[in-house]
Amino acid sequence: MYRIMKDRNEAMKDEVRDFASELLKISSISQNEKKAAEFICGKMKQLGYDDAFIDNAGNAIGVIRGRTPEAAVILNSHIDTVSPDEEKWTMPPLSGKIEDGKLMGVGASDCKAGLASQIFAGALLKRSLLPMRGPFVVAATVAEENGCSIGLRKFVSDTLPSLGMKAGFAILGEPTGNGLYYGHDGWVEVNIHIEGANPFQVSDTARSINSDLSLVSINRNKFAAMEEMSIGRPVFNDNSGFRAADMCVSKRLRGSESSEEVVSWLNHEVGVLVQNERKVAVEVAVISENQKMYNGSRTIVKRVTNAWQTDPYSPLMQRARQSLSAAECEVRTGKWNLGRLGMGTAGSVFSGEFKIPVIGYGPGTEECAHAPDEFVLLDKIYESVYGTAAIVHGLVGIPVCGWTSDEI
Amino acid sequence: MNIISISQNVSRLEFALFDKIGGAPLAEGELKNWMNQEIFKSIPEKITLLCGKTLRMKNRAFSADLICIRAPYGGEDFKSPELLTDKSIKKLRKIEHVAPMHIPALIELINLLKDYFRGTPISLVFETSFFTRLPEREYVYAVDPGLAGGIPLRRFGYHGIFHERAFEFSHDKDKGRSRVISICLEPIPEICAVKNGNPLMVTGGATPLEGLPGETTCGDIDPLIILSLSESLGWGPEEINKTLSRKSGIQGLTGKKMNFAGLFSSSDSNAVLAKNLFLYKILLATGSAIAAMGGVDAIVFSGRYHDLGKEIHTYLLSKLDLPVDNCEVLPDNLLRLTAEAGLLSLLKNK
Amino acid sequence: MKIIVFNCGSSSLKYRIISMPDEKEIAGGEAQRIGPKTAEPSRIIHRHGDKTETHLVEMRSHAEAMAEVRKLLSTDSSLTPDAFGHRVVHGGGVFSSAALISDESLDQLEKIKHLAPIHNPPAMKIIHACGKEYPGIPSVAVFDTAFHATIPDYASTYCLPYEISEKLKIRKYGFHGTSHQFVAEEAAKMLGKPFGELNAVSCHLGSGGASLCAIVNGKSVDNTMGYSPLQGLIMSTRCGDLDPALTLNLLQHFIGSTADVERLLNTRSGVLGMSGASADIRDIFSLDKRDCGNQRTSLTAEAYLWRIKKYIGSYMAVVKNLDAIIFTDTIGELIPHVRWAVCSDMEYFGLKIDSEKNEHAESLPVDVSQKDSRVKILVVATNEELAIARRTYSLLAGDKR
C-alpha cells in the first residue's frame, strides 16, 4: 500500500507544486479570502472530491466520503495570511516564485503549503485507489490570522452538521516542519483604558502604570506563570483632549492559564496603583474588534489565542505516530514555540470549544511564519502530502491488513 | 483463437498468450510494479507488442479473442468464472473494502483493457469462487458476526483455481477417488479437502494471511501475539501487518529472502527448522482434511513448486497411512488454468 | 504428608487438603467472590469429611481469603499442612517442571508475570501469603505450561521474524498441561501401559477454556493453545483461531486500543459472540435440541464441534501408534454427543465409538470405544488438585518420575 502511495505521490509532484505556487499568487489577507477560496474549491472539484463547496462562512470545503457515516477526520488549514510588511521583503510577497527547491510568498509556511498538502492528501488516497471506512473533510477556513477563527467555528457548528457529519479528529496544516505537534501556549492582548478630567493626571497615571507593570513583568519573569509580557506605551486620545489614554498589554498564556485570570490580575495590580487617584477611572479589558468577513457578515472577536494541548499519548497522537512510522516517514513530536506575539493556531477552538482531539502536521516552519521572505521547501510539501494521507488512512481508511503480500 | 490470460498480484502482473487449450503459451511476460501510473498506462501496449511479435514470427496477425483475468478475491457473489458485464463491475464495487489492495486495482485494470481491446470479451476468474461452496461451519469465525463494521467475516481459500482443477484431474483418472486432498505449493501454500468436487476444509482464511506460513507471510498465529507486538513495540496495525505479511514466514525464520524451492535444498540450520516446521504444518492440515472428509482417496500437488510434492508426499507417508499410489502432480501453470476456465465461461455464455 | 493445594481464579480460591501418597482428600472448599463487593456476599464453602459448611466472610483480596481459609483449617489439628502446592498458569520459558518456592524462583516468577496478567498475580499473592502465614512449610508451584515444555521447536515456533520472537519470548507455551498430564496418567493406568510409552490425544473440554494435547511416549508434543490461552478451539468467550488480519483490523477500528481488542476476543467472542445467546455450549446444545434455537445457535454448535474434530484429525496425524483419545473436564465428561460427533466417521484413524457405551458413560473412567476399535476412546475425570498434589509430593519426596 505504501509503495503504491509513494509512487502515486511522486507522479503528482508537479501538480502539487503548481497549485501551491498559484495559491501563493492570490492575495488572501484575513477577511479578503474570496478569490483564494474559489480557487481552492475549484481544485478540489477537479481532484475528484465527492463534494466541494463554499460554505456560509466563506470556507472552502472538500469532502471524501467513507463507507460508514462514522466520525470524520477534519483536515484544517486557514486560507488567510497576515498582511505582509512589504518593506522588509526582498521580493514581491505574492510572487509564488520557486527557487532552489523553495516556494516563496506570504503564507508559504503559514499555512498555504499545509493547505495544499491536505488537499492533495485526499487526491493521493483517491489515486492510490484506497477505499475509506470513514469520511474526511478538508476545511480551508477563513479569518484565522485575524478574526479569531470565526470561519472554523462556523464550519464545526454549522457546516459539518449540515453535511450530516460530526468530527472525530482534526489535523491542522499549520507549520510544524512535518513534525507531529500537540499544542502550544496562548496569548492575550488586553487594553488598559485610563480616563480622567485632568489630562496631566491621566498622563501621570498611565506612565506610572506602564513603569510599574514593566517592573512587575521583569520581576515576575522569575516565575514561569507570569513570564513573557509586553507592555505598550500609552497612547493618548487627542479627540478627548488628552483626557483618555490606552495601553496595550500582551501576555503569553501558559498551560491552563486563561485570559480571564490575566484580566483579573491586571485589574488587581492597576487597582492598587490608582487607589489614591480618585479622579481617574481605569478599565481593563481584552481587546476586541468588530470585523467584517469577505462575504459581508460581521462579528466581534476578542484578541485571545488560547493555549491548548492534546495528550501526547492520546489515541490520535499514537495512531498518527504509528501511521507515519509504518509509512517510513520521519516521526518527530513536539509543540509550537510561538516565538512571535499574537501567533497561534485554531487548535484551541477544536480542543477547547468543541472537544475534538487535534494535532498539527504541516510542511511549513514556525520560523518562517509571519516573517519577511516567507518560504517553504517543496520537498517538505510532497512529504507532507504523503504523510497526511498515511495518517488519514490510519484513522479512517479501510485497513489493507492481510492483503499486502506481493503474491498469494 | 487467441486468448490473453492475465494474473493479478499486488505488485506483479503476469500475462500469457494461448491459441489452444492444453498447449504451451505462445508468449509470456510480466510487469513489475504495475500500479505505477506510467507502467499501468502501458499495459495494453506491452501485451499487444509481445503477443504481436510472437504471432508475426508465425505469420499470423494478432487479435485478442478473449481476455481472461485471474483475480485473488471475488467474494460471495462470484460463484464461477463470468463474462464481464456492467453488473460485474457493480458487484466488485460492493466488495472493494473487503480486499482493498485487489478489487479497486482490478476495476481499474478491467476498465483499461475494456477501453483498449474494444469488443473483446473479458472473463473474470476468481480464486475464491470455488470456496463460495464451503460449508458454513468451516468458514465462520468464533466472533460476534457484527464485529468488523460490515466487513464480512468468513474464510475463503486463495488457490481455488488449482484446487478445483486438482480434484477434476484426479477424479478423471479414477472416478472412485471422491475424497481428494489438494496441496497447492505457491508462495502462500494452501491445503484443501475436496469431497465430490466440493471444498470441505481449507487452510486459507478471511485473508491470505491465515493458514500455512508462506515465503514472507506468518500463517496461523495466536491473536494475542498481535496485541503483544503493539504493546511491547508501540507498533500500529499497519506496521504489524507489514511485518506479518512481508517479513515473516520462511524469510522471518531464515533471515533471508528464500522461496520454497530454495528452502527445500538449503542445509542452513535455520532453513532446516523452517522446513521441518512447514512439513509439520502440512501434516497437521492433512490430518484435519482427512478428519473433515472421513478419509482420503488421493493427494494432488499443484502450484509453481509442485516438484516438491514428491518429497512432501514421502514425508507424509512416513507419518500417515496414506494411499501410496494415489499421489498426483498437476503440473499446469496458473495462467493456463485461467485461460481454460475463462474459455469455459465464454462457451457457456454462447 | 498432608498437602494443601491452592488453585485460584481471578475472583475465587479453591483448596484441597490431600494426604499423600495415598491420595485421600481430607478436606477442601472454595472461597468465592473475592475482591470488591458484588451483589452476593463473599463466602467460603468448606467441606470436611461429610460435612459442608458455608461461611460468609468479607474477603477483599486473595491474601485475605487465604487468611480466612487458614482460620478454618486451624480449628482442627488434623488439617495442619506439611506442604503447599500452588497452581500457576504460566511458567514462561523458565519453568519446565514444578518448582520449589525460593527467593530465586519468586524472582523468576516476577519476571514472567506479564505473560499471564490475569492469572499469575493472584497465585503469586497466595504463595507470598503462605510464606508469611506458615513460615518453614515448603511451597511448590505447579505450572500449566510445564507439561508442554517438551513440545519440539518445529511445533512451538511461530513464523515471525526470528529476532522479534526471541526478544518478546514469543512461542507456543501451551496450557492445561496439569490436566492433560493427569488424565493421560490415568489413561495409561487403564490401559496397563507405562506412562512413558503412552501415545494419546487428550481433549480437555471445559465449560470455559478448552484445548487438545498430542502426547507421544508420555510427553506433550503439541497443544492447541499457543502463546496465550486465546488460540485454538472455540471456547466459551474466547475466539480461538482467528485470521491475524482480523485482529489487525480490530486494532485499527478501536484506534489502536489493545485493551479493547483483548477484551473483545477474550470475553465477548467464542460461543457467546457467535451465538449471541449464551457463553455455555451446553445451553446452545439444549436450545438447539428443544428446537428453540435459531440459525446462529445451530451454527455455533456445529462450528464448535467441527473445530474439535479437525484438531483431533491433526493430532491423530501427529501421534503414531495411537493408544487412546481421552475426553475430560465438564463438556468432555458430561456431554456424550460431543464425543459422538467428533469421533464418528473417524475409522480412518482407527476410531470406532460405541453408541451405547458412550451414552451411558457415567461412572468414570470408562472406555466408550467399540471392541474392535484400534484406538481406545476414554472418558476420564480430571482432577487438577490431585495432579498438583502429586507433583508437589514427588518433588518434595525427591521422587522424580
Q: What is the pLDDT of residues B42-86, one digit of tens each?
A: 999 999 999 888 888 888 888 889 999 999 999 999 999 999 999
Q: Is the pLDDT of residue A62 over 90?
A: yes
Domain that holds residue C9: 2-143
Q: List B residues 1-60 in contact with A (Cβ-Cβ < 8 A).
A: 9-12, 33, 35-38
Mean model confidence pLDDT for chain A: 89
Are residues C241 and C325 located together in one domain of the fold? yes
How are beta strands C324-328 and C200-205 bridged, if at all?
parallel
| Mean pLDDT for the stretch of residues B136-153 | 84
Asked whether the beta carbons of residue C244 and residue A402 sit closer than 8 angstroms, the reply is: yes
Asked whether the beta carbons of residue C168 and residue B229 sit closer than 8 angstroms, the reply is: yes
Please tell me the predicted confidence (pLDDT) of residue A341: 61
pTM above 0.90, yes or no: yes
Residue B342 to chain A, least CA–CA distance (Å): 20
Please tell me the predicted confidence (pLDDT) of residue A325: 96
Please tell me the predicted confidence (pLDDT) of residue A229: 78
Q: Is residue C32 part of a domain?
A: yes
Show the domains of chain A with their CATH numbers: 2-183+307-396 (3.40.630.10), 186-290 (3.30.70.600)
Nearest-5° Cα angle at B292, B286 to B295: 70
* Beta bridge partners of residue C28, listed in sequence order: C16, C47
Type of residue numbered B22: G
Are residues C35 and C122 located together in one domain of the fold? yes
Please tell me the predicted confidence (pLDDT) of residue A328: 96
Residue ranges of the alpha helices (H) in B150-268? 160-173, 223-233, 237-246, 249-254, 260-265
| Mean pLDDT for the stretch of residues A220-237 | 65
Confidence band of A222 (pLDDT split at 50, 70, 90)? very low
Tell me which of C109, C143, C177 is where a domain ends.
Answer: C143
Q: How far apart are CA B206 and CA B201, in angstroms?
A: 13
| Mean pLDDT for the stretch of residues B233-257 | 96
Q: Is residue C167 part of a domain?
A: no
Q: How far apart are CA C163 and CA C166, in angstroms?
A: 5
Confidence band of A227 (pLDDT split at 50, 70, 90)? low
How many Å separate Cα A359 from the centre of its chain?
Answer: 11
pLDDT (tens digit, 9 = 90+) per residue, A68-86?
888 999 999 999 998 888 8
Which option is the CATH number for B3-133: 3.30.420.40, 3.40.50.720, 3.90.180.10, 3.30.1370.110? Answer: 3.30.420.40
Least CA distance to C247: which residue of chain A? A401
Confidence band of A226 (pLDDT split at 50, 70, 90)? very low
Same fold, B3-133 and B160-334: yes
* Ranges of residues in chain C whose predicted pLDDT is under 70: 288, 290-293, 399-401
Q: Is the pLDDT of residue A307 over 90?
A: no
| Mean pLDDT for the stretch of residues A19-33 | 92
Interface test with B, best of C255, C310, C343 (most B CBs within 10 A): C310
Are residues C85 and C209 located together in one domain of the fold? no
Q: How far apart are CA C46 and CA C52, in angstroms?
A: 6
In b/e form, how buried is each residue of C210-249, taking b as 16+ CB within 10 angstroms?
bbbbbbbebbbbbbbbbbbbbbbbbbbbbbbbbbbbbbbb
Are residues C203 and C136 located together in one domain of the fold? no
Are residues C225 and C355 located together in one domain of the fold? yes
Number of domains within chain C: 2
Q: Looking at the domain covering B160-334, what would its CATH class be?
A: alpha beta
**Residue B287's closest CA among B187, B177, B201?**
B201
| Mean pLDDT for the stretch of residues B133-158 | 88
Please tell me the predicted confidence (pLDDT) of residue A76: 97
Confidence band of A48 (pLDDT split at 50, 70, 90)? very high
Phi/psi of residue C351, nearest 5 degrees = -110, 120
Are residues C199 and C102 located together in one domain of the fold? no
Interface test with C, best of B73, B102, B137 (most C CBs within 10 A): B137
Are residues C226 and C139 located together in one domain of the fold? no
Catalytic site includes residue C144: yes
Are residues C315 and C223 located together in one domain of the fold? yes
Are residues C204 and C91 located together in one domain of the fold? no
Q: Is residue C161 part of a domain?
A: no
**Can you give the CATH number for the domain in which C31 is found?**
3.30.420.40
| Mean pLDDT for the stretch of residues A281-305 | 82
The answer to whether residues A182 and A309 touch, using CB atoms and an 8 Å cutoff, is yes
- The residue to which cell 466440493 is assigned: B198
pLDDT (tens digit, 9 = 90+) per residue, A250-261?
888 877 778 888
Q: Is residue C395 part of a domain?
A: no
Please tell me the predicted confidence (pLDDT) of residue C385: 93
Q: Is the peptide bond before A161 cis (omega within 30 degrees of 0)?
A: no
Please tell me the predicted confidence (pLDDT) of residue B149: 62
| Mean pLDDT for the stretch of residues A340-363 | 88
The answer to whether residues A117 and A173 touch, using CB atoms and an 8 Å cutoff, is yes
Q: How far apart are CA B170 and CA B107, in angstroms?
A: 35
> ipTM of this predicted complex?
0.95
Please tell me the predicted confidence (pLDDT) of residue C197: 97
Interface test with A, best of B98, B126, B128, B238 (most A CBs within 10 A): B238
Domain ranges for chain B: 3-133, 160-334
Please tell me the predicted confidence (pLDDT) of residue B285: 98
Asked whether the beta carbons of residue B227 and residue C247 sit closer than 8 angstroms, the reply is: yes
pLDDT (tens digit, 9 = 90+) per residue, A354-399?
999 999 999 999 998 888 899 999 999 999 999 999 999 999 999 9
Please tell me the predicted confidence (pLDDT) of residue A223: 41
Q: Cell digits for A401?
A: 491488513
Nearest residue, CB atoms, A406 vs list B11, B108, B234: B11
Asked whether the beta carbons of residue A408 and residue B38 sit closer than 8 angstroms, the reply is: no
With beta carbons under 8 A apart, name residues in chain A contacting B186. 407-408
pLDDT (tens digit, 9 = 90+) per residue, A154-213?
999 999 999 999 999 999 999 999 999 999 988 888 999 988 888 888 888 888 888 888
Q: List B residues 252-281 in contact with C (Cβ-Cβ < 8 A).
A: 252-253, 255, 270, 273-274, 276-277, 279-280
Confidence band of A30 (pLDDT split at 50, 70, 90)? confident
Catalytic residue (choose from C144, C280, C288, C367): C144
Are residues C201 and C97 located together in one domain of the fold? no
B178–chain C Cβ distance below 8 A for any pair: no
Q: Is residue C298 part of a domain?
A: yes
Please tell me the predicted confidence (pLDDT) of residue A42: 97
Q: Is residue C173 part of a domain?
A: no
Type of residue numbered C6: F
Q: Is residue C400 part of a domain?
A: no
A131–chain C Cβ distance below 8 A for any pair: no
pLDDT (tens digit, 9 = 90+) per residue, B259-305?
999 999 999 999 999 999 999 999 999 999 999 999 999 999 999 99
Q: How far apart are CA C163 and CA A64, in angstroms?
A: 41
Q: Which of these ranges, A83-92, A335-344, C350-359, has the smallest mean pLDDT?
A: A335-344
